[in-house]
């Protein structure tokens, strides 16, 4: 892509400098004159000073550290510059064309509905009564069981499994190997309990690779619009994940747990059955939530508590320990 196109995307200009053709985006340490690179935080100052990049997308505070030969682009919105730059190069890259339609090796039940413009890759399976919306993409070897509903533009990764009772909204992404609607972890003296509910997933939800979202026991498990769920996450039966919530890798939600709108759970955090993480709360990595957390707070530890309170207590304990002979 041309440097001028990148400048336009970032809301800045070349300020009279000659336009350059860029072969791609690279790290500061790896970039050559044909590359663009980014330096958007002070920790990149040392690498910025010795980079060979032809163009640098740079935060205003680092402008003086850009080598004289490099073209500096100072974005209008530095906080958005990473996403804007990555998307600009992704859109400029050549994309292989993929034919829509059903691959000859895929198995589609006669009672399934695959909309015009959808794509079903090799060895995929679509069961009776399933509905695949326009421009949806079912990846290689994916399984879509009977009655599943997949919204327009949703992408199902290779080898993902969508069990009966799943309703996926539009423009969702389901990563490779994910399992949606599996039977939850519920047993009694008679053995494993039947799970009669399903999973309802809103629009624009991202679900990472090898994540499992269990069906409800009675009623459905719910994932709200715009939620972001990382790889290797476990969402138990009848859990509720609110709109725009973020679950980082290896998070576990027990059955009936609730994560409200805009909340964020760091990696390996766990939420006990029936516990609630309030709207826009932030839970640190490896924290254990055993009770209701108020909206908007920052929490850490096990059991999870307000982060500042925990840090103050740890500091006091450290001082006590240091005074011991």
pLDDT tens per residue, range 99-142: 899 999 999 999 999 999 999 999 999 999 999 999 999 999 99
Tell me the torsion sign for CA atoms 156, 158, 160, 165. Answer: positive
Confidence of residue 98 (pLDDT cuts 50, 70, 90): confident
- Rounded Cα distance, 260 and 255, in Å: 15
Task: Tell me, yes or no, if the two domains 3-92 and 222-325 fold the same way.
Answer: no
pLDDT of 281: 98
pLDDT tens per residue, range 176-225: 999 999 999 999 999 999 999 999 999 999 999 999 999 999 999 999 99
- Tokens 């029936």 belong to 274
Percent residues over pLDDT 70 in the chain: 99
Taking residues 84-111, report their average pLDDT. Answer: 92
Query: DSSP 3-state assignment of 158?
Result: coil
Cα–chain center distance at 117: 26
User: What's the CATH number for 222-325?
Assistant: 2.160.10.10
pLDDT of 16: 61
Percent residues over pLDDT 90 in the chain: 94
Q: Which are the contacts of 80, defined by CB distance < 8 A and separation ≥ 6? A: none
Query: DSSP 3-state assignment of 294?
Result: coil
Asked if pLDDT for residue 17 goes beyond 80, the answer is no
pLDDT tens per residue, range 231-286: 999 999 999 999 999 999 999 999 999 999 999 999 999 999 999 999 999 999 99
User: What's the CATH number for 3-92?
Assistant: 3.40.1390.10
Query: DSSP 3-state assignment of 88?
Result: helix
Count of helices and strands (H, E) across the chain: 4, 37
- Rounded Cα distance, 306 and 310, in Å: 6
Q: What is the 3-state secondary structure (H, E, C) of 17-79?
A: CCCCECCEECCCCCCCCCEEEEECCHHHHHHHHHCCCCEEEECHHHHHHCCCCCEEECCCCHH
Asked if pLDDT for residue 15 goes beyond 80, the answer is no
Q: Which residue has the higher pLDDT, 13 or 174?
A: 174
What radius of gyration, in Å, describes the C-alpha atoms of the chain?
24
Asked if pLDDT for residue 323 goes beyond 90, the answer is no
Question: Looking at 35, 195, 222, 237, which residue is catalytic?
Answer: 237
Asked if pLDDT for residue 14 goes beyond 80, the answer is no
Longest dimension (CA), the chain: 79
Asked if pLDDT for residue 19 goes beyond 90, the answer is no
Asked if pLDDT for residue 143 goes beyond 90, the answer is yes
Taking residues 290-318, report their average pLDDT. Answer: 96
The chain-wide mean pLDDT, for the chain, equals 96
Closest CA to 266 of 254, 253, 282, 278: 282
Taking residues 62-83, report their average pLDDT. Answer: 94
Element (H, E) at 246: strand 246-247
Sketch the domain layout of the chain as residue ranges.
3-92, 222-325
**What pTM value is reported for the model?**
0.92
Active site residue 237: yes
pLDDT of 170: 98
- Rounded Cα distance, 68 and 220, in Å: 60
């Amino acid at each position: 892509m041309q440097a001028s196109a990148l400048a336009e995307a970032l809301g800045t200009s070349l300020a009279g400098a000659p336009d350059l053709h860029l072969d791609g985006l690279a790290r500061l340490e790896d970039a050559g004159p044909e590359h663009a690179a980014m330096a958007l935080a002070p920790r990149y100052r040392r690498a910025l000073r010795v980079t060979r990049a032809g163009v640098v997308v740079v935060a205003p505070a680092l402008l003086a550290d850009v080598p004289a030969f490099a073209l500096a682009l100072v974005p209008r919105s530095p906080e958005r510059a990473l996403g804007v730059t990555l998307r600009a190069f992704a859109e400029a890259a050549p994309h292989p064309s993929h034919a829509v339609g059903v691959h000859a090796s895929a198995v589609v039940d006669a009672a399934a509905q695959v909309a015009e413009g959808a794509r079903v890759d090799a060895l995929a399976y679509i069961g009776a009564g399933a509905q695949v919306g326009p421009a949806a993409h079912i990846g290689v070897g994916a399984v879509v069981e009977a009655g599943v509903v997949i919204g327009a533009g949703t992408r199902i990764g290779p080898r993902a499994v969508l069990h009966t009772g799943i309703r996926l909204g539009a423009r969702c992404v389901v990563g490779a190997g994910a399992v949606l609607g599996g039977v939850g972890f519920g047993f009694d003296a008679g053995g494993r309990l039947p799970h009669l509910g399903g999973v309802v997933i809103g629009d624009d939800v991202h679900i990472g690779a090898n994540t499992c979202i269990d069906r409800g026991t009675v009623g459905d498990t719910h994932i709200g619009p715009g939620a972001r769920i990382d790889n290797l996450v476990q969402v138990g039966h009848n859990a509720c994940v609110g709109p725009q919530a973020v679950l980082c890798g290896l998070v576990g939600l027990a059955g009936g747990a609730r994560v409200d709108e805009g909340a964020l759970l760091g990696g390996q955090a766990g939420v006990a059955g029936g516990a609630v993480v309030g709207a826009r709360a932030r839970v640190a990595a490896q924290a254990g939530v055993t009770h209701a957390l108020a909206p908007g707070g920052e929490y850490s530890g096990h059991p999870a508590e307000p982060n500042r309170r925990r840090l103050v207590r740890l500091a006091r304990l450290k001082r006590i320990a240091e005074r011991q002979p």
